Amino acid sequence: MTGGVISAFAFLLMVHVASACPKECTCDAHAKSVDCRGRGLYDVPRHLQPDTLELHLQDNRIRGLGSMAFREVPQLRVLDVSNNSITSVSPSALLGLRSLRSLSLAHNAIRELDRRLLGSVRNLTLLDLSHNAITGLPGALADSMHPLRKLALGYNRLSKLDRSHLEALESLEELELRGNPWRCDCHMIALKLWLESFMFRGGMVDEVICTQPDGMKDKELQRVPYELFHSCMATSYHYLFANLRHLESEHRHRGPAGDHAHLPDLATGGGGGAGGSLPECEPKQRPRPVNLRHAIATVVITGVVCGIVLLMMLAAAVYGCAYAAIMAHYQRDLKKAEQRAAAAAVKLPCEKEKEATGTADEKEPLENTIA
């Protein structure tokens, strides 16, 4: 009898412990969510239920996320740690959260992220890093975010963004970049091309407002004409032809049944031979989407501008030659006129003297006759 009572008590104790909720939080057993918002917490609460799916830690005083900070909730799908005082995030802070779908670290003081942070998170669809102090994204961070649909990077300290960070996000639908000190120099041509391609495919982007250099200040990158990047034209062509090579290789890889089967083999003129492969001395380009329409438009506009300049130079040369010929002819005529005037001036006194002599000769016979 005593053993049965002890067993029942132990069972009830285990049930109580299993169904316990941290005293600082409010738990919803049906939705399997834990709400710890605005409780003045300095750390992630302990004794969380292993089957917790949502954890809300907004508006607290958490300063950092340590290694395996969420090891008690391996099934977590939604994690919101926004509006805290987080300055550092351990590379293994999210270790074990293989089911995580939504992560918000917005409104903190994070300066950098380790490339290993999202290494174990393979199903993330929303990542909000806005309103921090991030100056750059690590190169391999995006490699583990292929399913990502929304990425918020607004109001950080990003001055440039390598398009390779975005190319791996094949499922991306919405991108927020507003509020960063963008430097719109030659390096931004790649991002401009990617943004045009992304919007052409139906993606949503808020805006990229340039702050540097002075000539580009307060201009929106998407509306800056390519003519203002004239000195960067070689860079633009580099990315353009890289896009064309990628399109050709993707077409060969997918075959006639692929999404791009209707596009021609651009690099080989439709033959699909080995001529389109990358040279050994050139590093292979990462897969990148292509916007053939904008690429051709850029080449056509550049050709038209160059043609107009050549026509103006030719017109100037013809005008110069015609003017020189007319002036030479005018100088010759002027010189001949001066020579004729000089000859006439010499001849006039001679004719007067001859006339005077003739008059005297005529008078002498007349006087002789009278005499």
Q: List, for residues 224-240, the tens digit of each pLDDT value.
A: 887 666 666 554 455 55
**Res 100 pLDDT > 50:** yes
The one-letter code for the residue type at 154 is G
The label of the residue with tokens 């292929």 reads: 146
The one-letter code for the residue type at 314 is L
For residue 151, what pLDDT is reported?
A: 94
Q: What's the predicted TM-score (pTM) here?
A: 0.60
**Res 5 pLDDT > 50:** no
In three-state secondary structure terms, 269 is coil
The one-letter code for the residue type at 16 is H
Cα atoms in the Cβ-side hemisphere of radius 13 Å centred on 227? 8
Domain annotation for the chain: domains and CATH numbers: 18-224 (3.80.10.10), 241-290 (no CATH)
Q: Between these two residues, 331 and 79, which has the higher pLDDT value?
A: 79
Question: Closest by alpha carbon to 186, among 152, 126, 231?
Answer: 231
The beta-strand segments (E) located in the chain are 26-28, 33-35, 54-56, 64-65, 78-80, 88-89, 102-104, 126-128, 150-152, 174-176, 182-183, 204-205, 210-212
For residue 84, what pLDDT is reported?
A: 96
For residue 294, what pLDDT is reported?
A: 65
Q: Per-residue pLDDT tens for 289-320?
A: 555 566 777 888 888 888 899 889 988 888 88
Q: Calculate ∠ Cα 287-288-290, nearest 5°.
A: 135
Mean pLDDT of 120-142: 87
In three-state secondary structure terms, 93 is coil
The one-letter code for the residue type at 250 is E
User: What are residue 56's DSSP bridge partners?
Assistant: 35, 80
The one-letter code for the residue type at 36 is C
33-35 and 26-28 as β-strands: parallel, antiparallel, unpaired? Answer: antiparallel
Contact predicate 190/217, CB 8 Å: no
